Structures are given as C-alpha cells and as structure tokens.
Structure 1
C-alpha cells in the first residue's frame, strides 16, 4: 500500500485509515445510471473488494491438496474449466496446476494469501494475491447472454456453459474470467487496467440488445 506521507511508519499504522478504491471508480456514474435503469432484460453491478488469490500447485502432492483444503474448505478442482465451492470461497480451474480462489463476500483483502502461504510450507506451490489488480462484475437478466455474445467468442448456450463451469476468455479487448452462476446470471473477473473500458463497452453493448 502507498504511504503518501513517505514516513517510515509500521505496517499496521499505514493500513489503518486507508480508503479502498474500486477499479471502477472512474465509471461510477455510469454504473449508477445503469443500476437505476436495470430491468429484467439486463442489469450490471460491481462486487468489489473480494479476496482474489492465484494459486499454483500439484494435485499429485497430497500435502499441497490437504493444506489448500484446510484453508479454503474444499480441494482445488481437477476437471478443466470447473468450479469447486466451500462456505466462504469458490475455486476456479485455470489450468492443470493453477486456480483462482475468490471470497464469496467482501473481506479484508490480502488475508487469504497470508493464510495459504503459512500452510503451504515446503510444498512446490505458490499463492499470490491479485485482488488489488482485479475486480468482479455481476450481470443478470434475460438478455445477459446476448450482451456477452456481442464481445465474447465462447459458445454461451445454456446447455454448454452453465453453473459449475468457468472459462478464461475476452470481452472485446478485455481479458476476463467468466463464471455462470445461474440461468441468466454471470460473474466476471476483470483486470483493473481493463475495468473502466470493460464497463463502458458492456453498457454500450447492452444498449443495443437489451430494452
């Protein structure tokens, strides 16, 4: 975190009073306007300040799997593009040895990385907090898949892409991780550097397909 006074303060004192700022702060008025005219066809909102941790490890290592499950509450999924869930987190498959762990509710960010690092020990594994560099956007509505289809090349038919799955893709030029959480409900992890662009281009796409 930045210490704007540049004083050599202890970490605890620097953290106290820090104001968290959403990656979508520049598009706040646009999101507020979108929420105000949300309909059954399409609605979009941010789910800010979630713990997001990228984890690498070997599923063949019982020590890694046990340590991971002890903190997260479930084992990392082995099947490609699937999601595992515990009471407080979901775990998205990104690769054979890579997962994204997300908190299901706003939390004090940065805590999960520390917990995982503490238990991984000598395992051939790593946990890196990426919460400050990403945010989560939620969309829903009867035209949500249509809005996504405007800029996402995946086949989003509900028979093929449904809850319990996830996929890395793009929305126009923005890199995303897409998670269907209901029939017409999606959560999207988007990088901070793309967040403002992503929000604006999605609102533009929604204007042409959702009444």
Structure 2
C-alpha cells in the first residue's frame, strides 16, 4: 500500500480556496468490480454483500454512508469505500461471487479524486471536457467517464455544494489516474487564475 501522506499525487499542490475551490480529497479504498448485470444471482450477491443497489443505468451511481458504487459500463463498476474496509470488502465479494463469471480488483493506488467546487466549476471543466454539463443534461448525482484535455477521468456531479452556501453552485468530483493528477490540477488552476 502506498504511503498516502508523502505520495499523494497532488502532494506539492496547495488547495485553492475562493468562490471556486480545488482540493484533493482524502484517500479512500477503490475496488473495480466486473460481472454480468443480467445475472440475478450476481446482482443479488453483490447488493447483499456491500449493502448498495447495483447501478445498471448508464452514468448513475448509488451510495450510502459506507460506500459509493459508480456505473462504468454494462458489466463494470467502481466502488469507493473507507480505506479500513477495503480488504474486507474485496474478500467478501470474492467469496460470494466464487463460481460466477466476475472479477474483483483493488485499484486504490491507481486513482485519486479532486473536488472542484463553486460557481465557475462547470465553465472551468467545459474548457477541456466534451460533456454537455448543463444541469438539464448532466444532473446532480450523474457520473460519466470522459476526457479532460489529454486525461481520462470519471466525472461525478455531487448533489450538494460542500464548500459554499451558494445553492446553485455546482460541485464535481474528478477521479483521475495518479499519473495525470498534476496535469489536471494545473490545467484547472491555470483556468481559475484567468477568471
């Protein structure tokens, strides 16, 4: 496991505060899950093991206090959970899915999550992201794999604004591969400086 205090992908970047803010979120466990969403046995075993409904519609996620499960494709999901729960969740999933066509892989060290929050966040993302981020097209709670400049990201529009008391201000979690974290951070920071 990575030493998260010294090897954080944005370790030498200082959080940006203001009307629009940018931070790296604390690390969490990340598990890639694959299986047949048309197999009721697979779906029921996953749901009973992790306590979350398996999202089967494109660009959706489900969450509770302990975990978030993102739809990545018809037969692929990504789960975020507490770091301390990661190994137990992996072991439990592998045990209940034994004999079913499935895969459970830890990817904690592969991704980090940046949070962009505030009234200019949609405009900043639109500079390098091809998604239509209008609230009618990308609503609160929506998630999608897409591009930001040269980086592949998983973009999640969180349903509430955590840093500001501006109810209309959107907030996004941007999950990005470790090796592209500084690239995405610097791209967003340069756009924020130009505002």
**TM-score clears 0.5:** yes
Q: Compare the two structures and name the one with the higher helix fraction.
A: 1
* Structure 1: stretches of 5+ with no match in the other structure: 2-17
Report the Cα offset of residue 176 of structure 1. 0.3
Residue deviations 1:104-144 (CA, integer Å, cap 9, x gap)? xx423742322321221111111111111111111100001
The answer on whether the counterparts of 1:58 and 1:97 sit within 8 Å (CA) in structure 2 is yes
> For residue 4 of structure 2, what is the aligned residue in structure 1?
20
Cα distance change, pair 89–175 in 1 and its aligned pair in 2 (3 A): same
Cα distance change, pair 22–119 in 1 and its aligned pair in 2 (3 A): farther
> For residue 58 of structure 1, what is the aligned residue in structure 2?
36
Runs of 4+ with >3 A deviation: 21-25
Report the Cα offset of residue 19 of structure 1. 3.3
Report the Cα offset of residue 175 of structure 1. 0.8
> For residue 166 of structure 2, what is the aligned residue in structure 1?
none
**What RMSD, in angstroms, separates the aligned Cα atoms of the two structures?**
1.9
> For residue 14 of structure 2, what is the aligned residue in structure 1?
31
Q: Which has the larger radius of gyration?
A: 1
Report the Cα offset of residue 22 of structure 1. 6.3
* Structure 2: stretches of 5+ with no match in the other structure: 160-168
Q: Structure 1 length as normaliser, TM-score?
A: 0.80
The answer on whether the counterparts of 1:23 and 1:192 sit within 8 Å (CA) in structure 2 is no
Q: Structure 2 length as normaliser, TM-score?
A: 0.86
- Find the partner of 1:202 among 179, 183, 188: 188
